[in-house]
Amino acid sequence: DVQLQASGGGLVQRGGSLRLSCAVSGLIFEDHAIGWFRQAPGKEREGISCISSSVGSTYYGDSVKGRFVISRDNAKKTVYLQMNSLEPEDTAVYYCAIRRFICLPTMQNSEYNYWGKGTQVTVSS
């Protein structure tokens, strides 16, 4: 079975940092792109970042560009999301998801085949 396990969420003050991890099992990790999404209370799920398979090209949504950095460790089958300069507006449940090969700038939920359970990020003011 394909499994994605997101971790690393927590409570942090404004301006702080967190690093999320997404551990993947059950498929050929190197052949897949990993996306990060988030959903704040009362809002739709938002695609914020993605890293593609082999060449590791990346995508960032405007809301996180310049503050978040996505990376992958193929040996550990894990993708990371380093989140810096966090703001209360970043408070949300963060999810990782997987699709074949490349990222698409549209970052739609339907483009991803498997999802992990979310991890809560809360940024206090």
Note the pLDDT tens digit of each residue in 7-50.
Answer: 999 999 999 999 999 999 999 999 999 999 999 999 999 999 99
Q: What is the mean pLDDT of the chain?
A: 95
- pLDDT of amino acid 34: 97
pLDDT reading at 54 higher than 90:
no
Angstrom CA distances, 69 to 3, 43, 95, 113, 121, stand at: 23, 23, 15, 23, 16
- Average pLDDT of span 120-125: 97
Q: What is the pLDDT of residue 111?
A: 96
Q: In this structure, are residues 120 and 93 in contact, taking their beta carbons and an 8 Å threshold?
A: yes
- Is the Cβ–Cβ distance between 57 and 32 less than 8 Å? no
